[in-house]
Amino acid sequence: MVVLGILTTNSTALALQVNWPDSPLGTPLNGDSELPQLIQYLYEWGIALGGLAAFIALLIAGFQFLTSAGNPTQMSEARGRIQSAAVGLVLLLGSWLILYTINPDLTTFEPLVMPSPSLLGNCEEGDEDGRTGDDYCEYHFGCDYECKNNVCAIDLKSLFEVEDCSSVVVTADGAVVADISRTGQSVSAEMEAGTPFQIEASPYRCMGTLVLGEKKGIFGCSGDKRTLALQPGVVTYSDQGEKRCESEEEEKEPVNFSVDIDVKCMSLEKLDKM
């Protein structure tokens, strides 16, 4: 392991200073060699030296067995050494088959190639469907991602900057019940209790409060009132002045709301006023 570490970190310098002999199977080691070639070089030398050591051990054990006639203890030891050397030689010569059985890639020693980044990267190159740039990032991650330097990035600062809702459109059964064009405005609206309705507020990712009252007063909605918080992820949003990332084919299911009073008035307020 120490030799492998030294050769791994200094293989280029050592190869330039020393003419390393080729491995028994012909693998060279020079200044252009990379880590896979170094591993293959050491592996082939290890097989050769291990085979030589096992062969020498067999010779010594065989000689000991031949010269131990009449001595059962030495004959038993020599027989054990012969068996151990034979098993070691079989394992050594069968190491390639063992590695191939575990994973064939362990025997190919291919150069290490880092795969090109996917999804987060390559937004300028695009995907298999031809999406590139911001379209690529919006499709794979959402409308808050943009393509910058071939990587899909998100502006976290703008993500958490939430604006006040400036307008709200309330619809029920496909008809517009109320169209509030500015904050603080109160409008007359006719909607019975329990009627499901949808909200479309703008700008994108805005927050506010929709007030629903039983009466329309001089200074806004009066009588029994209900308030509904407009916040990201709860209501649907329009694309007035903002970029939408949903495809034209995709239609989101509207979020339905209802209240337990007969509504005659609606107004839009900021959250900090409630």
- The per-residue pLDDT for 193 is 93
Q: What pLDDT shows up at residue 197?
A: 92
Angle between helices 95-102 and 72-93 (to 10 degrees): 50
Given phi > 0 = left and psi -120 to 50 = alpha, else beta, which region is 8?
A: alpha
CA dist., res. 129 & res. 142, Å (int) = 17
Q: What is the pLDDT of residue 113?
A: 59
What's the pTM value of the predicted model, to 2 decimals?
A: 0.43
pLDDT < 70 regions, the chain = 1-18, 105-121, 157-160, 232-254, 272-274
Go through 122-140 and write b for each residue having 16 or more CB atoms within 10 A of its CB, e for each that does not.
bbeeeeeeeeeebbbbbbe
- Residue 90's CB: how many other CB atoms inside 10 A? 11
CA 121 to chain centre: 11
pLDDT of residue 206: 82
| Distance separating alpha carbons of residues 119 and 10, to the nearest angstrom | 36
Task: State the helix-helix crossing angle for 2-17 and 35-66, rounded to 10 degrees.
Answer: 120
pLDDT value at position 5? 57
Peptide bond connecting 203 to the previous residue in cis, omega within 30 degrees of 0: yes
* Residue that the structure tokens 């390393």 belong to: 20
Alpha carbon of 239 to those of 30, 171, 205, 243: distances in Å? 63, 16, 10, 6
